[in-house]
Amino acid sequence: MPTMKFEIKFTINADAQLTALENANDKKALLKAVRKAFSYMEINIRHPSLRTHKYDSLRGLNGEEVFEAYVQNNTPCAWRIFWHYGPGKNQITILAITPHP
């Protein structure tokens, strides 16, 4: 099965979270891990290290199914990326970049 390349879009909230990471000198390793996760998401949303799965406790602004992708694993308060498909074809929208709730 061929993989599909996705364009990544950000909500205002997710963009602010990414900017905060970029401006935090003590979070350089985390920022690197987030960017690596984004690169996997662009080329293969089902990349094994992302451990992508549906997140039932949250819906998108228009009722979209929300998914969770791992940034970190086996780490206290491990960081996650929450996203949904759309708004357009071959696009995904990042809702949040945050420690696992």
Instruction: Starting at the earlier edge strand, list the strands of the sheet with 91-99.
Output: 7-10, 91-99, 79-85, 65-70, 53-59
Domain count, the chain: 1
Residue 68 in any domain: the answer is yes
Residue 57 in any domain: the answer is yes
Domain range for 58 is 7-99
pLDDT at residue 88 tops 80: yes
Residue 11 in any domain: the answer is yes
**So what's the pLDDT on residue 3?**
63
CATH of the domain at 35: 3.30.2310.20
**Sign of CA pseudo-dihedral 38, 44, 45, 50:** negative
Q: How confident is the model at residue 1 (pLDDT cuts 50, 70, 90)?
A: very low
Residue 2 in any domain: the answer is no
Residue 64 in any domain: the answer is yes
Residue 1 in any domain: the answer is no
Residue 34 in any domain: the answer is yes
pLDDT at residue 31 tops 90: yes
